[in-house]
Amino acid sequence: MNWHAIRAIYRFEMARTFRTITQSIASPVLSTSLYFVVFGAAIGSRMGEVDGVSYGAFIIPGLIMLSILNESLSNASFGIYMPKWSGTIYELKSAPVGWFEVVLGYVGAAASKSVMLGLLILLTARIFVPYEIAHPLWMLCFLLLTAVTFSLFGFIIGLWADDFQKLQVIPLMIVTPLTFLGGAFYSITMLPPVWQKIALFNPVVYLISGFRWSFYGMADVNVLISFAAILGFLVACLVAVWWIFRTGWRLRA
């Protein structure tokens, strides 16, 4: 294992984040804070509780997931796309660095940024809404697994994309709608029976449900199923990245 290469890639990507801290950290935290102000403090104060939890507190896990998914995808996809676009990916391919080490460097940095962002949003939420975390270790586990998995997915998007526009297609047109429809602002038990069954085909439902369970001990889907779903997606992404590096698909600028 070439730890020097992993550390170099990781530090380079983290340095890029801190050079653009307003865009990378401050902007997502501010945007999510507006959700807390509007849906938590303003609208939430006029709504009833959801399974014994105030509405403002109920939406915290969903809003954190919304930010985590988008930022993980964006950070990882942009990080690997830039070497393709500039042509420096050939230097990376010719260096004594294996595919797993490349993935550890880029995905590790993207996941670290996402976890930092999630924890900052969690702290910011305390200003607007009181909440408790019933299972803090499980909360961190779900947070870390989600950040790593969707950073891997973003890494695949960055390898697939051949222009800057394609970097935003999947996050904006697929992931964000699935998150809004995945129970970020409501429990799927509020839906009519037919739509409850349809919602179970949305993979984001399992992420938000498991994460919300770690806060309040309540879930739309069994927590073990949620955990198995995120692990399955993680393995699928790893297999896809391995295949891409093995075949060289889309590794050219």
Mean pLDDT over 108-115 rounds to 94
pLDDT score recorded for residue 49: 77
Q: Is the model more confident about 150 or about 247?
A: 150
Give the three-class secondary structure for 50: strand
pLDDT tier for residue 37 given thresholds of 50, 70 and 90: confident
Sign for the pseudo-dihedral over CA of 197, 203, 206, 212:
negative
Phi-psi region of 91 (alpha: psi -120 to 50; beta: other; left: phi over 0): alpha
Mean pLDDT over 223-245 rounds to 93
pLDDT score recorded for residue 206: 94
Check whether 245 has a pLDDT greater than 90. Answer: no
User: Is residue 236 a contact partner of residue 156, using CB atoms and an 8 Å limit?
Assistant: no
- Predicted model pTM: 0.89
Q: Which two tokens stand for residue 250?
A: 């889309």
Check whether 44 has a pLDDT greater than 70. Answer: no
* CA-to-CA dists, residue 67 to 56, 86, 125, 182, angstroms: 17, 28, 13, 14
User: Is residue 133 a contact partner of residue 76, using CB atoms and an 8 Å limit?
Assistant: no
Q: Which two tokens stand for residue 79?
A: 């990080």
